[in-house]
Structure 1
Amino acid sequence: MKSKEDVEKLEKVIGQLQGAHAEIGLLAKKSPSDSLNSFKLKLINKVLVAANSVLGKKYRPFDDFEQFDSDDAPTTSDVTLILAQYMEEVERYRSDNVIHDYGWFYVVGGETTEIPAGPPSKVGRK
């Protein structure tokens, strides 16, 4: 990460992915083959575009996927699957950018910051 703004964008995307996954996951359990309505799909695509921007090529879960096609409404189970993959990669990215130094903190520009972070759930650093 290059700046504090990158950390803020990451944290926002994490929250959006978690919220969307929880909501769509409930729908998927109830009716996995139902299509997502255009309003929800538009919001999901905005989250995916933001996640792609934060993750960059190295961390994106799929090279050939950017967002859902609005003309081909995906099922709730399709969306849940994709959101889960993005959540895994966003956590791998976050884990690669935190360090323990008398607590967990984000690393920005190669330097430990005072921005608090949770412990990593993925093993290893870059």
Structure 2
Amino acid sequence: MKSVEDIESLEKVIGQLLAAHSEIAVLAKKSPSDTLNSFKLKMINRVIKTSNSILGEKYRPFEDFEQFEEDDLPSNSDVTMILAQYMEEAERCRSDNVMQEYGYWYYVLDGKISEIRSGPPSKVGRK
């Protein structure tokens, strides 16, 4: 991470991915083959577009995936699967950018531990 804004953006997109995944997973359990409505798809595509920008090439789950096609509405289960991949990569990015000091976890900014606290990494030893 290069700035506090990078950290804030990552934290925000992680929250958005978790919320969207939770919402769509409920729909997918009930009706996996049903298509997402256009309003939800627009919101999902915004989160994915932001995620692609924040995650960059290193953490982006699919290099050739930009967003879902609005003319060809995806199924609930398709969206759930893609969001799960984005959540994994966003967490890998976060985990690769935190360090422990005195029993607490902090984000790393420009190679140095910052004062911005974080949770422990879930992907230990992946760097």
Q: What TM-score range do you get, normalising by the shorter chain?
A: over 0.9
**Runs in 1 of length 4+ with deviation above 6 angstroms?**
none
**1:56 is aligned to 2:56:** yes
Matches of 1:101 and 1:72, distance apart in 2:
48
- With normalisation by structure 1, the TM-score equals 0.98
The answer for unaligned runs of 5 or more in structure 1 is: none
> 2:68 maps to which residue?
68
> 1:111 maps to which residue?
112
> 2:125 maps to which residue?
124
Matches of 1:118 and 1:66, distance apart in 2:
29
Q: Counterpart amino acid of 1:122?
A: K
Report the secondary structure of 1:2's partner residue.
Answer: coil
Question: 1:43-65 deviations in whole A, cap 9, x for unaligned?
Answer: 00000011111100010001110
Question: 1:23-59 deviations in whole A, cap 9, x for unaligned?
Answer: 0000000000000000000000000011111100010
Report the secondary structure of 2:115's partner residue.
Answer: strand
- Aligned-pair Cα RMSD in Å: 0.7
The answer for unaligned runs of 5 or more in structure 2 is: none
Offset, 1:66:
1.2
Identity, in percent, stands at 70
Report the secondary structure of 1:25's partner residue.
Answer: helix
> 2:34 maps to which residue?
34
Report the secondary structure of 2:83's partner residue.
Answer: helix
- With normalisation by structure 2, the TM-score equals 0.97
The number of residues matched between the two structures is 126
